[in-house]
Amino acid sequence: MSFNPRSLRRYFPILDWGSKYNKDTFTNDGVAALIVTIMLIPQSLAYALLAGLPAQMGLYASILPLVAYAIFGTSRALAVGPVAVVSLMTASVVGNMALQGTAEYAAAAITLAFLSGLILLAMGLFRLGFFANFLSHPVIAGFITASGILIAASQLKHILGISAGGHTLPERIGGIIENIGDVNVITLVIGASATAFLFWVRKGLKPFLIAKGLTPRMADILAKAGPVAAVVVTTLISAVFQLQNHGVKIVGDVPRGLPPLTLPAFSGEVWGQLFGAAVLISIIGFVESVSVAQTLAAKKRQRIVPDQELIGLGASNVAAAISGGYPVTGGFARSVVNFDAGAETPAAGAFTAIGIAFAALFLTPLLYFLPVATLAATIIVAVLSLVDFSILKTTWGYSKGDFAAVLATILLTLGFGVETGVSAGVMLSIGLHLYKTSRPHVAEVGLVPGTEHFRNIKRHEVLTTPELVTIRVDESLYFANARFLEDYILDRIADDCDIKHVVLMCPAVNEIDSSALESLEEINKRLDDGGIKLHLSEVKGPVMDRLQKSHLLHDLTGQVFLSQYAAMKALGDVTKPAPSGPVAA
């Protein structure tokens, strides 16, 4: 077998951008990595907390996965690592299998990352990225909004210093209300202060620093370091006043060192319990990651390869699994920061991994007195930016079906948990698609005077002839809508004795499956029984290729015309103006 460099570059994009790497690119990637590292250290710790895992697993998930993505990923700016939604889904899934804080809990999270990685790799190798299309954008937006609310609600117990459980919003609110009398005032002061400070940092610190004379770039770096400042200050306060003795929960011992070599559980029972969730996490993570990557790539007129992105994310998750981490994907906030900071290649992610590794080696002992409330504040501020109820207003005005899907996804996610919510969202997306396409737009058309164009007789003043009915089908024909077209045509010709020809105009028909073919054969037969001929016009080449392998064209009572104008000229005189309405296509 001959060596193909292009094929190798397809699976190893590092060979492409790496061959053009230079000193300037190195400098830009290094600066971006520094900024993202500062942002990612507290985020990694916080998201591990959200997933119910030891804090160090957040750091571990931010080292080797970034290196793996730098080798296999195609986005120049995507920053891979723990993210809020995937962390929440991990906690929801693994929490049903083992008690939080146990070795079995951490092992299940590692296995979940490994399974997700295998699923993503398989999808990438077999080019199955189109499966992500089963999650419509409105449903994804609804799910992320609901997840943001759930995540913020889950962290309120840490802000208040109380115990409260639950996987759904009613359960979490109920737990908080039930234990509200146990609020730790010191924890509340730390958590509320950190939250308020981080909100101000996000919106007001950069303009404040620029007003004080700092350059926009330096002001941006300091603003991104806001969470680190909150961590440092609250940790110092906690250590000086020994707040753990006053009921303030702290992070405690965080093992120092590089990620250990870990292996997933190879138990059929465990894999069976995790597989469905791993599929959902893989698809959600892929959709979120690719959306961010495509948005950032478009700004620099770059392109990503979705199927290769599957391989990059799959490799990242496998890397997380063998280095003590948990499922990862491309994060929106840190990717935007990476892009704005000037990252030019995925090497910025590898440099970030070096920074996180340095923190794991030398900084973890300093985190002992870090209040958990500070990490909770970091999560709340990060995830509330995900909450966007404007999607409800947008879909209500544009599509009531999409609105119903979004609302149902939000309510089901809040009321029954993330797995139920996203599963319902997928089923609603598919169900709505099937419903819409099962009732395709079909229009009777006529000739626009003075042209060779045909338009809907209910919308335009057009010319028709009593003996000829032209029906334009605006959808591919398949099993779900074949009977609808059959009923439409038979209803149209009923009790109309003038009709001698029916033409199916097919410019929008990209596919005719076997069920639709049988329906067309039945339509041809039923029309023939009534003395009416069936004709086709404007059939696309690939569709005609398929039809030529069937009996339809041999048995067709009429003809196949290249254009609808040719059909009308051949079959009848256009003499009768049809009623008109508002002008539209």
Closest by alpha carbon to 129, among 285, 307, 295, 314? 307
pLDDT digits (tens, 9 = 90+) for 97-143: 888 888 999 999 999 999 999 999 999 999 887 777 767 778 888 88
Q: Are strands 442-447 and 454-456 parallel, antiparallel or unpaired?
A: antiparallel
Q: What is the mean pLDDT of residues 36-41?
A: 88
State CA 158 to chain mean position distance: 29
Closest by alpha carbon to 158, among 254, 225, 251, 30? 251
Q: Which residues contact 241 (CB under 8 A, 6 or more apart)?
A: none
pLDDT digits (tens, 9 = 90+) for 536-549: 999 999 999 999 99
Q: Which residue has the higher pLDDT, 420 or 105?
A: 105
Percent of the chain with pLDDT over 90: 62
- Asked whether 288 and 93 are in contact (CB, 8 A), the reply is no
pTM: 0.81
Q: Residue 574: its pLDDT value, please? A: 53
Answer whether residue 343 shows pLDDT above 70. yes
Answer whether residue 342 shows pLDDT above 90. no
Q: Which residues contact 566 (CB under 8 A, 6 or more apart)?
A: 537
Percent of the chain with pLDDT over 70: 96
Mean pLDDT comparison of 194-198, 421-425, 436-440, highest-scoring range: 194-198
pLDDT digits (tens, 9 = 90+) for 430-483: 888 888 888 889 999 999 999 999 999 999 999 998 999 999 999 999 999 999
pLDDT digits (tens, 9 = 90+) for 467-477: 999 999 999 99
Q: What is the mean pLDDT of residues 43-49?
A: 92
Q: What is the mean pLDDT of the chain?
A: 89
- Asked whether 153 and 414 are in contact (CB, 8 A), the reply is no
Q: How far apart are CA 98 and CA 105, in angstroms?
A: 5
pLDDT digits (tens, 9 = 90+) for 257-299: 999 999 999 999 999 999 999 998 998 899 888 888 888 888 8
- Asked whether 451 and 435 are in contact (CB, 8 A), the reply is no
Answer whether residue 424 shows pLDDT above 80. yes
Q: What is the mean pLDDT of residues 420-437?
A: 81
